[in-house]
Structure 1
Amino acid sequence: APAQTATPAPTAVPVEPARVLATHPHDPGAFTQGLFFADGALFESTGQPGESVVREVDLETGKVRREVRLDPQYFGEGSTGWGDTIVSLTWKHGKAFRWDRKTLRQIGTFTYPGEGWGLTQDGKSLILSDGTPELRFLDPVTFAEQRRITVTYQGRPIRRLNELEYVRGEILANIWHQDLIVRIDPATGVIRGILDLRDLAAAVPVTDPEAVLNGIAYDERTGKLYVTGKDWPSLYEIALPSR
């Protein structure tokens, strides 16, 4: 009889509990969609119609240093720094804004098909999530799509990837409504590790079911990693995942 070809067993994906190293205040009215550092300064973009802003935040106090409000029709989403600018997404309008990072003055717009969820960059491309299992790599100057990857866990596509952060050669992503951060290989889309934040999230004093974990920021200057959530009163420094 012909030999049976065995299906390869799914590769075990390491799960690592998040270790909190420090706690900082966070604006409990900030519906966090994007969180990133640029030149050592912390920036945040928030959602909700009429409340969406792009702001610089003081890490130690949680106070807003300066902010710009989006037109009330827009539901703000993810954001990232690029050079001396900030790029921020909107949820359903297919429109991205470019802001001058020093003045927060709007200096450009782009359009893109589908929804906007999370945004980060790897030094070459902007990386956008849209609620599907696909991440798009975009030209930071023209917003033209360069390529896509499908994010998979043990071969299955994973949806609802939200806020993104590029950290030490991996894409970290919140999964909407799960207290987990997945570590994605940017070449293949394969999830190669999981940060488990369930204990951390369970201890956050929020009652709104939409006040979910969302916000990952890596400060390259200090090598520190931070997370928060929508309307969370705290922002947490957590240990970097094991390599």
Structure 2
Amino acid sequence: MKTLKVLAFISLAAALNSCKDDETVKNNLFSIDTSAMKQQYQPQETLSLKLVNAKNKEIDSVAYFINDTRAGSVKGNAPLDIALNGKKFGYQNIKAVVYYDGDNAETTGRIELVSDVKPELLEYEIVNVYPHDIQAYTQGLEFYRDTLYEGTGRYQHSSLRKVNYKTGEVYKKVEQEGRYFGEGITVLNNKVYQLTWREKTGFIYDADTFEKIKEFNYFKDIEGWGLTNDGKYLYQSDGTEKIWKLDPETLKEVDYVNVYTNNSKIKAVNELEWIDGKIYGNVYQQDAIAIINPATGAVEHIINFTELKQQVTKHPDLDVLNGIAYNPKTKTIFVTGKNWDKMFEIKIKQ
């Protein structure tokens, strides 16, 4: 009896492998014609798709999908032109389902959609230099009602603070439990939202008292990096090229953009600030800020702050530029870094 069961199992396995082999053979009959395709496209361009039919099979029709969304179909092996305007930057995974001889097969390909905007380098001037707590591993920075709020990181040292930016004095502070690594902050509707790095947990505080209102879990398995808001929605970065748009009440995803220049994605988007309808984002380990169109993810300008790091005190814990706060009263931008002993008030040159 055992021998029969073993033989039956072997037969079933052989049959399954045969089916897989047949499927592989079918899916190798066709391929997407890449002879006239580019690796990168811009939104104003059109993608033209057609198949290579090496075995000269009789093709009835082909259905094309972009990122699993049906893009169109054609009779036979006619070309299909797909407008790329309105699609999100990033990889566009192409799938063709080919119907032939009463059967069907699949073949896949990929292109990358990049921005059509070439970022311009902006110049700036230093308006003032203020003291900054050298022990503050700055993760979030934002003005609210003329008060500077700061979130700091590192395990056992994470906090939320109110700071006198002119003197560097911390006059209100709440510390997180040692198991949390604090990240970006933003203030919306008199509530301070604060992220944590890998703990997938966020906190909401009363902006006046720092009383904790609630904790929340991230809407998906991502890290917490930067945070800002446009007066209605939250925007969260996660260490990749993505910026997520969130509902501040449910903390669920509303939309997202991929941050791109005209030739590449910008990974490690960190601390965020909303300024005049744009998102200013620190690029981790670059000592630079990207100015991002929140509707598309296109990087429109870059500000190089490398020279600022040269002006702070050198010490073993000195780390990268991180922290952007716009003061609407003075219309100036405040920037600092992780464990910097200075904060710089700057103005963009027009």
TM-score of the aligned structures, taking structure 1 as reference length: 0.93
- Asked if the contact 2:161/2:171 (under 8 Å) is kept, the reply is yes
* Residues 33-65 of structure 1: CA deviation (Å, up to 9, x unaligned): 000011111000000111000000001100101
Superposed displacement of residue 10, structure 1: 6.2
Structure with bigger RCO (C-alpha 8 Å, 6+ apart): 1
3-state SS of 1:140 partner: coil
Is the Cα contact below 8 Å between 1:195 and 1:241 reproduced in 2?
Answer: no
Q: Contact between 1:18 and 1:200, CA under 8 Å: does it hold in 2?
A: no
* Equivalent pair of 2:117/2:298 in contact (CA under 8 Å): no
Q: Percent identity?
A: 37
1:101 is matched with 207
Point out the more displaced range, 14-23 or 129-138: 14-23
- What root-mean-square deviation, in Å, do the aligned CA atoms of Structure 1 and Structure 2 show? 1.9
CA drift of 1:209 comes to 6.8
Shift of 1:201: 1.7
Q: Which amino acid aligns with 1:143?
A: L
* Alpha-carbon distance between aligned partners in 1 of 2:271 and 2:318, rounded to the nearest angstrom: 14
Pairwise CA distance, 1:17: 3.2
CA shift, 1:208, in A, is 3.8
Counterpart-to-counterpart distance in 2, 1:233 and 1:189: 32
Specify the alignment match of 1:55 in structure 2: 161
Whole-Å separation in 2 of the counterparts to 1:98 and 1:12: 38
Does the 8 A contact of 1:18 with 1:196 survive in 2?
no
Q: Which amino acid aligns with 1:199?
A: E
Give the TM-score, by structure 2 length. Answer: 0.65
| Alignment-derived partner of residue 281 in structure 2 | 173
- Corresponding residue of 1:33: 139
| Residue 344 (structure 2) pairs with residue 229 (structure 1) | no
**For 1:149-197, what per-residue CA distance to the aligned partner results, in whole angstroms no more than 9, with x for missing partners?**
0000114111101000000111000011001100000110000000111
Matched, 1:132 2:244: no
- Structure 2 residue identity aligned to 1:44: E
Tell me the distance in 2 between the aligned counterparts of 1:85 and 1:215: 19
User: Contact conserved, 1:76 with 1:89, CA < 8 A, in 2?
Assistant: yes
Q: Which residues of structure 1 form unaligned runs of 5+?
A: none
Per the alignment, in what secondary structure is the counterpart of residue 286 of structure 2?
A: coil
User: Whole-Å Cα distance in 2 between the matches of residues 210 and 173 of structure 1?
Assistant: 20
In 1, Cα distance between equivalents of 2:264 and 2:342: 33
Instruction: State the distance in 1 between where 2:314 and 2:262 align.
Output: 33
Offset at residue 124 of structure 1 (A): 1.4
Q: Does the 8 Å CA contact 1:29/1:231 hold for their aligned counterparts?
A: yes
Matched, 1:142 2:250: yes
* Counterpart Cα distance in 2 of 1:140 and 1:209: 34
- Relative distance call for 1:51 and 1:126 in structure 2 (3 A) is same
1:105-124 equivalences under 5 Å are: 105-112=211-218, 113=220, 114-124=222-232
1:160/1:175 contact within 8 Å kept: yes
Q: 1:130 to 1:22 in 2, by over 3 A?
A: same
- Unmatched tracts of structure 2, length 5 or more: 1-35, 43-114
For residues 111 and 124 of structure 1, do their structure 2 counterparts lie closer, same or farther at Cα, with a shift above 3 Å needed? same
- After superposition, what is the alpha-carbon deviation per residue over 1:62-88, rounded to whole angstroms, capped at 9, x for unaligned? 010110000110000000001111000
